[in-house]
Structure 1
C-alpha cells in the first residue's frame, strides 16, 4: 500500500509499504479517504517537533476514512462505515481519559503524523475507542476537518471560553482553517464577530462568511478599531492562535473580566505580560490544545446540520507538499484537503 513518509526535514517520499495485518481484538482497520492539512503538518515537515521522534515517519495529523474490517469484540462499527480518527494515541485508562478529557491524557503515546506514524497511508489499524462515526450526509472531504479544525474550535469556544449567544468576539487570523470555523460557529449562535485578516481579498471572503467587522491588520491597528467598535468597552472573548506581538493587543481589546483563549503561536511563542493589567482587568486566559472525542463528535453534528468547512484547495496524495507550500505562503483561506 502507499504511505507518504517523511524521511528528513523538508523531505517527503511516497513509498510502497506492507499493508497492516487484520485488526486485533478491540481494533478496527480504516481505509483512509482524505486528510486535512494543518500547521502541525507544516511544523513537522520543517522538523519543529516538540518531542523526540524517529524518521522515517508517516505524515498526516487529521483525516477521515471508512471501516475496512473490525476486530474481535468491536461493536458499533461495520465495514463501509464512514469515520474519523482521533489524532492522539491516548491510554484510555488514566483519570483524564476516563472523564472524557482525552486531550489531557497523562500517558499519551504521541500525536499521530507528528511524533508517531500518521494518517497519510491507504490503511491503518486503530483502537476502536479512538474512532468516531461520521453522520449521514457528511462527505469524507468535510469530515477530514473534524478532528483538529472543528474539534479545536469546539474546545476553545465552548469548553474554555464558554462563548454565549449575543456576545462579541474578536477572531484573530479569520482566514485560517480554525479562524473560518470560529467565525461560522459564532455567527450560528448569534454572536457579533470582529476579525482580522492580512489582505483585502481575505477581507471580502470573511465578510461573505458573516463576519460583522473586518480589520486588515497590515494597514490598520486592530486594537484601536476594535475598541471603537465596542464603544471602548472591549469584546467578551478573543479567539487567539497567533501569539507574537499581537498577543498583548488581544488582551487590550478585552472588556473587564473578558476571556482570551489561545491555541497557537504562529507569529512567535514568547511575549512580555503586564501582570498588573492582567489582575486589575480580571482577564481570564485559557490555553487550549487539541480536543476531546466529544468535541469532535459535536463538530461533526454541526457539519451534518449544514455548518460545513471552508475549503481552500484539494490535491491528490502525490501533491501533498504543494498543500504545505500553500499554508507556508499564508495565502491559504480555510482548509486544504488531500485526497486518496
Structure 2
C-alpha cells in the first residue's frame, strides 16, 4: 500500500478525507492494525470544536474509539498475532506508574495523550499501537459492537460496577437514555435485574427506551424528572444515579437519591458547574463519584458482557466520508444509541 485513507481535522470544525502515507512496520512492542470500524462520541464533538484542553498540532487524524484487526506484530510481541481482532485502548498510558501497575490505567500519571483528541486517532486504514494497550475481542462479538467498547461501553462498565457498585435488584436513574452511554447503561442494568428509570427528550426516544427495557421513562421536556422519580419510589429515592449531563440535571439528580445513595458522573454536556447543599450531602450520606474513561480491565469485561448477549445499541453506521454528519447529530442530540463509521 503506497497511500491510505485518513480522516483529518485540518482546523477547528474543518475535516477532510485525505490520502496519507501508511505507517512504518511496527516497533518491537507494537502491533500494526487495520481499522475496521470507528465509534463516534462526545469527545469527537469536543475535538471537532477545538476543545482539546491541551496543545495539539493540525492536521490531526480523528477517532478515539475503534475495532481493529492485527496485520503485523513487532518482534517482542507474543500475545497477539496477525488476524487477531482487538479493541485498542485510546489513551497512551505509561504502563509503569503506580496507577498503571495496579490496573487503574485511567489514572495514569504520565499519559502521552488520547488518540483522536490530542494525537492522531483511528479514522485511518492502518495504524501502529502498543500491543499492551490492545484488548482481544472474544468470538461472537462483531466489528460494530466491538467499536463501541473503548470509550462508551467501557465507560459504562466502569461507572456501574467499579465505581457505583450497582447490585441486582437496585433501582437506578439513567439520564439521557437515548445517548450512546445511556442506552448501554439501561441494557446492562436491566440484564442484572435492576429497576431502571430513564430520562429522554422526545416521545420517539421514550418509545425506544421502553423497547430497550426501561421500566419507567420520563420526558424531561414535559415533566420535572425529580418529582416523577420521588413518586415512583414512594419518596424513598433511587439507589444509583447515572449522571453525565451536568448542570441542567445536577440539583434534581441529588434530590432523586435515597439515603446513602450513590451518584456517579462522567460528563457535563449541559455545563460543568453545579452546586450542592453540604448539609444534604452529609445528612443523607450520599456518595458522589467522579468517573473518567475506564481501565483496560473494564474493556475486557465489557467485551465479555457483549459476548454473553448484552449488546450496545447501534443507531446508524456511516461511511468514512460522513463523519461531519455524525458529529452534527451528536451536537443536536439527534441520536438513540451509538453512531459508527465503517472503513
TM-score (norm 2): 0.98
Of 26, 44, 47, the residue aligned with 1:44 is 47
Is 2:49 aligned against 1:80? no
Once the two structures are TM-superposed, the CA of residue 326 in structure 1 deviates from its matched residue by 1.2
* Alignment partner, residue 194 of structure 1: 197
Runs (4+) off by over 4 Å: none
* Alignment partner, residue 17 of structure 1: 20
Is 2:40 aligned against 1:8? no
Equivalent-residue separation in structure 2 for 1:331 and 1:187 (angstroms): 24
Structure 2 unpaired stretches of 5+ = none
Equivalent-residue separation in structure 2 for 1:18 and 1:277 (angstroms): 57
SS of residue paired to 1:69: strand
Once the two structures are TM-superposed, the CA of residue 305 in structure 1 deviates from its matched residue by 1.0
SS of residue paired to 2:330: helix
Counting only pairs closer than 5 Å after superposition, residues 277-288 of structure 1 correspond to structure 2 as 277-288=280-291
* Alignment partner, residue 215 of structure 1: 218
Equivalent-residue separation in structure 2 for 1:115 and 1:54 (angstroms): 8
SS of residue paired to 1:132: strand
Is 2:35 aligned against 1:64? no
* Alignment partner, residue 334 of structure 2: 331
- Cα displacement string for residues 233-256 of structure 1 (whole angstroms, at most 9, x for unaligned residues): 000000000011210100001001
SS of residue paired to 1:169: strand
Equivalent-residue separation in structure 1 for 2:312 and 2:173 (angstroms): 19
Is 2:138 aligned against 1:130? no
- Cα displacement string for residues 133-160 of structure 1 (whole angstroms, at most 9, x for unaligned residues): 0011111111000111110001100010
Equivalent-residue separation in structure 2 for 1:44 and 1:74 (angstroms): 32
Equivalent-residue separation in structure 2 for 1:15 and 1:300 (angstroms): 32
Equivalent-residue separation in structure 2 for 1:204 and 1:245 (angstroms): 23
TM-score (norm 1): 0.99
Structure 1 unpaired stretches of 5+ = none
Question: How many residues are aligned here?
Answer: 340
* Alignment partner, residue 272 of structure 1: 275
